[in-house]
Amino acid sequence: MSRHELRFRQVHLDFHTSPAIPGIGKAFDKKLWQERLQMAHIDSITCFSCCHHGYSYHPTQVGVMHPGLDFDLLRAQIDAYHEINVKVPIYITAGVNNMVAEREPGWRELNFEGRYVGWQPSPVLPGFKSLCFNSPYMDYLCSLIEEAARLFPDADGMFFDIISQNQCCCPWCMRDMKKAGFDPRCEEDRKRFSDQVLANYMKRSCEAARSVNPQMPVLHNAGHYLGPGYKHMAQYFSHLELESLPTGGWGYDHYPLMAAFCRSQELDYLGMTGKFHTTWGEFGGFKSANALRYECCAMLAQGSKCSVGDQLHPAGMLDESTCRLIGEAYADVERKEPWCSGVSGCAEVAILSNVGINGFKPENERVEIGVSRLLLESHIPFDRLDSWADFSRYKVLILADDLRCDEVLLEKVKKFLAGGGKVILSGTSLFKKDCDELAYDLPVEAGELDMQIPNYIKVADEFAPDNVNTPFVMYRPSVRINVSGGKSLGKIYEPYFTRNYEHFCSHQHTPNKPEDSGYDAGVMSDNILYFAHPVFTLYAVGGAVVLKQFVMNAVTAFIGRENLQIITDLPSQGRVSLLEQKEEKRYIFHALYAVASLRGMASDSFMPGIRGTAPVEVIEDLTPVYNVNFEVNVEKAVTGAKLVPENKELPFTCENGKVKFVLEKLQCHQMVELSY
């Protein structure tokens, strides 16, 4: 397929509707729907063929039409939207389907303990039920998809949801694991088999979707399968939709990390937030208009298109308040689109993905969160790579905490170093994959982990945090190293003892001994910067400003402040990015600023079966900042600068590739066109 270009202003219109609700779609009015889509500035909307409850929203011979529906709602939606040039991808549930699960319990996923897999631990609690893609359910699903392809050949794509295959031990998986030579008692074998099942699902569902129209766009909403380490799955995607609702538990720093990987791929992509105060399925929940505006602008700044999640009322009426809310954000997006299409990234720093190399595990994800937060808060643009990527376009590569390279990847990193690149290491990433031998040419002697926890760092004066010249605490082990060349980052101090029942001190942990341990906190050579602690994990879990200042002081000295791509006095809550529109011969610089505050608290719900509450990151006010200075390092000679979409000339200076300008006022989002 040729590259599928997405539109900028999509809505994902959930419609998971209980069979116990009557009058489905009774309030549908074509003219009113068209008016409200135009009010919301929507140019693409995903509508439902089949929902998690298992019911179809059109006549079907394969599935079951919703018992409360008496007309073809999906056809009515498609026809109404196409009349006003709005695209309509259609939605089909895949990984969960309660109607099927209740009729065919033998098709459900079973975990290793022999219990059904689902969204609730008990059959007496409300929730959706997971189905196995290796069972006869797969035949049913493909028939459902093929029927939708025949009924709606004019659909603008197919969106398949909840795409995962757990370590299923249902009779079908047990049989086929044994046939394929896998041992179902071995977790690694179960994982490998589930990956094979998932790949088969991808292939068969794509074939079904394209059985009528070979060019039908297909999206599998597949969580981490959209990220590093799954290049072999890319052939089954026409584009990417990155689900990341900041208020639904993802937070505001999740999407930049996801997008940092997508920029290096060949597929178009969009970010998916929600209009809800919390997350999916919240009827009558509204986030602030300022938050939604910021979230959409943040997507544009990452080089992506936008999608906002909503949920249609069973009566079939688009909510006017929701349309006005979305319209405020999407009117802003519409004005900015000419400077946001056909962009490519310009980042000079890249993270080598722990998730992509070591697998999708919480500890690997946590490392990358720490790296990305440090870079975002320090205004350093970055990309996220897996082992297949081309490293040569970057100047700095980060291998964080426990990312050890196998022989093939290690040779690739060494080639990057030999070509003039710089590498940042931390924790055990300085070792070879299968043994504790140095993998890189570093002027250190390295030994075992220092298990005196916590230990402390007294940072060398050159890299010291503001106003801190005494040892500060580190809550993870460090590698014991002795520096024999280059620059030491500081000294390790050990506690008098590790806290236990035999000896402890004070409320939390034991203080450091007055004298240092003799070991170093890290080393900087010409082309390698190494931290002895897993500093990125530590920042992810603790967020200590003193740690950030130490790490980023060392990183800045290592790269050279004069070589940083962006230098600014924007506060750390601000975000920056630099993209390029090569056809238009211009860079687009994005600056964002908003402060999210934590609201609410963790609490049980008042009614059993309803989701409880949790603290939510909320953006309510878009407070401006004034007279913010920027210095942007670019390759091409800039000849003009202006604020867009305002089309207002911006005073600037340009010398040796450094473009300097001042934003007199930054409120939420500002783009600067730097033409060359």
Please enumerate in sequence order all residues whose Cβ is within 8 A of that of 460, keeping only pairs 6 or more positions apart, or say none: 487, 488, 489, 490, 521
**Average pLDDT of the chain?**
95
The pLDDT tens digits of the residues spanning 357-405 come to 988 888 999 999 999 999 999 999 999 999 999 999 999 999 999 999 9
pLDDT at res. 1: 54
The pLDDT tens digits of the residues spanning 570-617 come to 999 999 999 999 999 999 999 999 999 999 988 877 777 777 888 899
Domain 349-564 has CATH 3.40.50.10800: no
Q: Rounding to the nearest 10 degrees, give the CA dihedral for residues 287, 624, 565, 533.
A: -60
The pLDDT tens digits of the residues spanning 143-170 come to 999 999 999 999 999 999 999 999 999 9
In this prediction, residues 548-553 reach a mean pLDDT of 98
Asked if the model's pLDDT at residue 301 lies above 60, the reply is: yes
**How sure is the predictor about 2, in pLDDT bands with cuts at 50, 70 and 90?**
low
pLDDT at res. 120: 85
pLDDT at res. 287: 96
Nearest Cα residue to 226 out of 256, 265, 188: 265
The pLDDT tens digits of the residues spanning 176-185 come to 999 999 999 9
Asked if the model's pLDDT at residue 114 lies above 80, the reply is: yes
Phi-psi region for residue 132, left (φ > 0), alpha (ψ -120 to 50) or beta? beta
Q: Rounding to the nearest 10 degrees, give the CA dihedral for residues 405, 407, 412, 417.
A: 70
Element housing 257 (H / E): helix 254-262
Residues 190 and 184: beta-carbon distance below 8 Å: yes
Give the whole-angstrom CA distance, residue 31 versus residue 517.
Answer: 76
Nearest Cα residue to 107 out of 117, 120, 122: 117
Kindly state the tokens that stand for 618. Answer: 């909320």
The answer to whether the peptide bond before residue 121 is cis (omega within 30 degrees of 0) is: no
Nearest Cα residue to 373 out of 575, 615, 229: 575
pLDDT at res. 371: 98
pLDDT at res. 124: 87
Nearest Cα residue to 229 out of 344, 389, 347, 6: 389
The pLDDT tens digits of the residues spanning 461-484 come to 999 999 899 999 999 999 999 999
Residues 294 and 300: beta-carbon distance below 8 Å: no
Strands 586-593 and 668-675: antiparallel
Distances from the Cα of 395 to the Cα of 350, 406, 414, 416, 589, angstroms: 8, 22, 13, 9, 20
**How sure is the predictor about 4, in pLDDT bands with cuts at 50, 70 and 90?**
very high
Superfamily of domain 23-342 in the CATH hierarchy: Glycosidases (3.20.20.80)
pLDDT at res. 226: 78
Give the whole-angstrom CA distance, residue 635 versus residue 671.
Answer: 19
**576-675 topology per CATH:** Immunoglobulin-like (2.60.40)
Asked if the model's pLDDT at residue 8 lies above 70, the reply is: yes
The pLDDT tens digits of the residues spanning 307-358 come to 999 999 999 999 999 999 999 999 999 999 999 999 999 999 999 999 999 8
In this prediction, residues 616-642 reach a mean pLDDT of 96
Please enumerate in sequence order all residues whose Cβ is within 8 A of that of 566, keeping only pairs 6 or more positions apart, or say none: 379, 380, 381, 576, 578, 630, 631, 632, 633
% of the chain with per-residue pLDDT over 70: 100
In this prediction, residues 627-645 reach a mean pLDDT of 97
Give the whole-angstrom CA distance, residue 257 versus residue 322.
Answer: 28
Residues 54 and 98: beta-carbon distance below 8 Å: yes
Question: Pick the residue with more confidence: 266 or 567?
Answer: 567
**How sure is the predictor about 501, in pLDDT bands with cuts at 50, 70 and 90?**
confident
355-361-365 Cα angle (round to 5): 55
C-alpha Rg value of the chain to the nearest Å: 27
Residues 307 and 10: beta-carbon distance below 8 Å: yes
330-228-558 Cα angle (round to 5): 95
In this prediction, residues 118-134 reach a mean pLDDT of 92
The pLDDT tens digits of the residues spanning 212-262 come to 999 999 999 997 777 888 888 889 999 999 999 999 989 999 999 999 999
Asked if the model's pLDDT at residue 36 lies above 90, the reply is: yes
pLDDT at res. 417: 97
Hey, where are the domains in the chain? 23-342, 349-564, 576-675
